Amino acid sequence: MRYEIKGGSFPVAVCKMSAGEAINCEAGAMSWMDPTIQMETKSGGLGKLVGRVLTNETLFLNRYVANADGEIAFSANSPGEIRAIDIQPGRSVVCQKGAFLASDESVDLDIFFQKKIGTGFFGGEGFVMQKLSGQGTALIEIDGSTVEYELAAGESKTIDSGYLVMMDDTCSIDVVMIKGVKNVLFGGEGLFNTVVTGPGRIVLQTMPMVQIVARIASMMSTKS
């Protein structure tokens, strides 16, 4: 995939396509394209449909095929960043629900189930996340700005709900309960935090939409 990310805080990925090249994306993600590019809508089968429902994605993927050289653009759904991820065999990544924007056709989009019940209930990421594997480039959406860490084996980060957007599948994820009654009641952080342990890369986002929505809801309830 040959791409250029433009637009600052309201990003768009402009991709150059050669004849015969194909790109998969979320339904509705395409912003503009040249007439040399043709769209096809696909589901990938019943299993893929169920997985897409569980990960808050649209039911269908759109496949864009270039009949001749052309350009296509994909826009983010909210202010933030679009991040290009290099997917290689043997190094898959796991993303939060709804992060996937577009990818080379050679990249596989699947569901990733949390292995621990407590993590699924209390970790803020849910039981089901997205897994990107295969080989090629994938574009994911980031709420706000990006902060990246490379965790060594056994090294961990404690993360508030919603801030983890992506991790290598070599990382493990768990939850911990916040200690201390005062911290729970007055700390404003809730009951649980997410703990991600290396080895592997993690990508955090600085302004999760779930936090923004919760803040707006809180302000509206206070005014009412």
Q: Which of 139, 138, 137, 118 is nearest to 127 (CA)?
A: 118
CA atoms of 8 and 13, how far apart (whole Å)? 11
Question: What is the reported pLDDT for 16?
Answer: 97
Q: How far out from the chain centre does Cα 173 lie? A: 16
pLDDT grade for 169, boundaries at 50, 70 and 90: very high
Question: Using one digit for the tens of pLDDT, what is the confidence trace for 129-141?
Answer: 889 999 999 999 9
Residue 144 reports pLDDT greater than 80: yes
In a domain, residue 152? The reply is yes
Owner of token pair 């290396």: 198
Q: Are 175 and 122 in contact (CB under 8 A)?
A: yes
Question: Using one digit for the tens of pLDDT, what is the confidence trace for 40-60?
Answer: 886 554 445 454 454 444 556
What is the token pair recorded at 36?
């040399």
Average pLDDT (171-187) is 62
Q: How many domains does the chain have?
A: 1
In a domain, residue 201? The reply is yes
Domain, as residue range, for 65: 2-209
49-53, 100-104, 169-173, 215-219: which range is least confident on average?
49-53
Residue 80 reports pLDDT greater than 50: yes
In a domain, residue 214? The reply is no
pTM for the full predicted model: 0.80
Question: Using one digit for the tens of pLDDT, what is the confidence trace for 86-127?
Answer: 999 988 999 988 899 999 999 998 887 765 544 444 444 455
CATH classification of the domain holding 118: 3.60.160.10
Percent of the chain with pLDDT over 70: 77
DSSP-assigned states of every residue in 88-114: BTTB-EEE-TT-EEEEETTEEEEEEE-
In a domain, residue 222? The reply is no
In a domain, residue 107? The reply is yes
Bridge partner list, 94: 131, 167
Compare 180 and 11 and report the one with higher pLDDT: 11
Q: Which DSSP helix (H) or strand (E) runs through 198?
A: none
Question: What is the reported pLDDT for 191?
Answer: 61
In a domain, residue 224? The reply is no
In a domain, residue 146? The reply is yes
In a domain, residue 174? The reply is yes
